[in-house]
């Protein structure tokens, strides 16, 4: 990327449209002016998040912990901030640095991740921690260096570069896409406008505080420029926002109609021993929900249905219907008919019994927790993890 003072340009209607190749309207203020007002807003209205340092701390010379920024960014992939907070606090209490996470058994990491979804992230998280710890515990401070690590793509590398190391990098998440789409009234469908949006962010990026600028853009989208009922009167960029001027900010970003997700069917079998233990098994390391724990199910996949009756149970027993659960994956919807049986047998090969007080700590994905809850209400519940408050939480 060229130095920020060379890449920033006046965001006039003609120059931004020509530079981006888009016919969108453009904000009226210059990139410098927009960034300055956005940072001023952020200094006062920033979100307090457990992995962040505040603007005041930053001004005093406090710097973010790259480990905490990396961990939070991996957790935030495809997951909301509110859902991540509790998991993040539990992780850093248990594993306060990358060396501690690298030393942890993979099974423990998967258990701690259970319920957060997109489980390939957890496997990549552990692989990345192992690699960084083996290199002395220091994360690369460039986008290119970070992209060489497991589980870190273009967005995550830019976010870590900007936020952890305060280096210029165009950080574009869903919040930023919405802000830019409205600011410049970008009429190109979002799926085709990624490069245009990134170009606008690069032109707006200030020569100082790129990390705060990235977080300010995110916070603006999360708290003011929201998908529904944006609070335009409170926005520091309202005078420059062409969507606000047009009176229809909710029209942006423009999206193509979503295709219906296919429905897949299957069955899940919850076997309960006399002492309350539940029969479980581990899924293969590769593929959907790889390495996670499950109750026995039929052979459903994202592409094909599995059997849906008790005839497909892992062993003969008095299986009784216990309801049906549904779970939405990224590319399909899964419905499972759940069956329950009280048994007193040895665990079949590849299976194991988990005692009632251990169930909540198993590496169960959400879909399997739903299946168990259908058969045994309350079986997977656990209290929220406590945490030790760190100086910049």
Which residues does the annotation mark as catalytic?
73
Nearest Cα neighbor of 11 from 25, 26, 24 is 26
Main-chain phi, psi angles of 297, to 5 degrees: -135, 170
What is the phi-psi region of residue 34: left when phi exceeds 0, alpha when psi lies from -120 to 50, beta otherwise? alpha
Distance CA 342, CA 82 (A): 38
Q: Name the β-bridge partners of 165.
A: none
Sign of CA dihedral 73, 192, 230, 240: positive
Distance CA 79, CA 174 (A): 11
Nearest Cα neighbor of 242 from 7, 8, 29 is 29
Distance CA 272, CA 274 (A): 7
Indicate the SS3 state at residue 334.
strand
Residue with tokens 């007002």: 37
Residue with tokens 């939070």: 72
Q: Which residues contact 349 (CB under 8 A, 6 or more apart)?
A: none
Asked if residues 75 and 84 have their Cβ atoms less than 8 Å apart, the reply is yes
Question: In the structure encoding, which two tokens stand for residue 326, read together?
Answer: 């549904």
Angle at CA of residue 66, ends 64 and 69, nearest 5°: 80
For residue 82, what is the enclosing H or E element?
A: helix 81-94
Pairing type for strands 263-272 and 333-342 reads: parallel
Sign of CA dihedral 123, 125, 127, 129: negative
Nearest Cα neighbor of 77 from 134, 160, 192 is 160
């Amino acid at each position: 990327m060229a130095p920020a003072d060379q890449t920033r340009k006046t965001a006039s209607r003609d120059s931004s449209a020509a530079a981006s190749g888009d016919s969108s309207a453009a904000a009226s203020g210059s990139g410098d002016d927009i960034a300055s007002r956005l940072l001023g807003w952020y200094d006062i209205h920033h979100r307090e998040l457990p992995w962040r340092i505040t603007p005041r701390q930053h001004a005093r010379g406090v710097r973010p912990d790259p480990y905490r920024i990396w961990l939070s960014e991996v957790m935030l992939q495809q997951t909301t901030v509110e859902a991540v907070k509790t998991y993040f606090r539990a992780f850093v209490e248990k594993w306060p640095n990358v060396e501690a996470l690298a030393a942890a058994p993979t099974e423990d990491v998967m258990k701690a991740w259970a319920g957060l979804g997109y489980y390939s992230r957890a496997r990549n998280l552990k692989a990345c921690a192992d690699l960084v710890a083996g290199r002395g515990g220091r994360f690369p401070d460039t986008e290119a260096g970070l992209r060489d690590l497991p589980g870190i793509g273009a967005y995550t590398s830019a976010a870590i570069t900007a936020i952890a190391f305060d280096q210029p990098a165009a950080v574009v998440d869903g919040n930023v896409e919405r802000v830019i789409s409205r600011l410049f009234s970008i009429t190109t469908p979002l799926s085709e406008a990624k490069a245009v949006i990134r170009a606008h962010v690069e032109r707006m990026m200030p020569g100082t505080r790129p990390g705060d600028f990235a977080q300010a853009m995110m916070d603006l989208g999360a708290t003011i420029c929201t998908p529904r009922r944006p609070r335009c009167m409170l926005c520091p960029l309202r005078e420059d926002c062409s969507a606000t001027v047009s009176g229809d900010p909710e029209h942006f970003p423009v999206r193509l109609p979503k295709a219906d997700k296919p429905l897949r069917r299957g069955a899940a079998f919850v076997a309960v021993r006399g002492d309350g233990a539940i029969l479980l098994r581990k899924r293969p390391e590769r593929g959907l929900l790889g390495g996670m724990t499950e109750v026995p199910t039929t052979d459903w996949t994202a592409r094909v249905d599995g059997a849906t009756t008790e005839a497909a149970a892992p062993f003969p027993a008095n299986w009784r219907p216990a309801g049906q659960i549904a779970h939405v994956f990224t590319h399909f919807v899964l419905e499972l008919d759940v069956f329950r049986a009280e048994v007193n047998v040895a665990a079949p090969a590849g299976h194991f019994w988990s005692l009632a007080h251990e169930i909540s700590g198993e590496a169960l994905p959400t879909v399997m927790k739903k299946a168990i809850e259908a058969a045994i209400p309350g079986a997977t519940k656990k209290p929220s993890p406590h945490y030790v408050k760190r100086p910049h939480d």
